[in-house]
Amino acid sequence: MDSEQSQHETVPSILASEITIQEIEKHMALCHPQEGCGILFGGMGQSGWRIDGFEPCRNMSREPGRSFQLDPAVWIKHSFSPRLLGIVHSHPVSAAAPSPEDMKQLQSFGAMIRVYVIVSSQKNSSNLSAYTVELVEQGVYALRKCALLRMA
């Protein structure tokens, strides 16, 4: 009975191409021990959001070891692209979960993105968490954890 019930629970999933994940992991490893960041491209697939492109951004934060700020020139260049899907950044020394600062920042661009990915880049092993961006009330955005499925 329990296993049957859990099968009926729908965990939303986000698809990502293996090549794109490798590009993201490579960039985050290069930025380590600072936070790396970048823009995700893609669109809506048959079963949900699908990530199939990544463009690294310079981290313009004054404290890049503990926060990130996307290079505004790169962000502006892509902000009206129909393929803009989301953003990704890394946590060099902590888990792939959003920090209070991440949630604060999200409010300023939550309207423009659908997907949010965090990479924990500690100890050469990368661990990715994917979230959808949800409008919970007017002007307030939250992140909903999803399963990240890799595809060829």
Whose Cβ is closer to Zn ion: residue 23's or residue 102's?
102
Whose Cβ is closer to Zn ion: residue 17's or residue 99's?
99
How many residues are recorded in the chain?
A: 152
Closest CB 89 distance from Zn ion, rounded Å: 5
Closest CB 40 distance from Zn ion, rounded Å: 15
Do residues 107 and 135 lie in contact, with contact meaning Cβ atoms separated by under 8 Å?
no
- Establish how many alpha carbons lie within 13 A of residue 46's alpha carbon, considering only the half-sphere containing its beta carbon: 0
Tokens, residue 75: 């962000």
Closest CB 101 distance from Zn ion, rounded Å: 7
| Residues with Cβ within 8 Å of residue 78, at least 6 apart in sequence | 39, 41, 55, 84
Whose Cβ is closer to Zn ion: residue 38's or residue 50's?
38
Whose Cβ is closer to Zn ion: residue 71's or residue 102's?
102
Whose Cβ is closer to Zn ion: residue 55's or residue 102's?
102
Number of residue whose CB is nearest Zn ion? 102
- Closest to 125 measured CA to CA, from 28, 1, 19, 23: 28
Tokens, residue 9: 């629970």
Closest CB 118 distance from Zn ion, rounded Å: 6
Contact positions toward Zn ion, by CB under 5 A?
99, 102
Helix or strand or coil: residue 22?
helix
Beta-ladder partners of 2: none
Closest CB 46 distance from Zn ion, rounded Å: 30
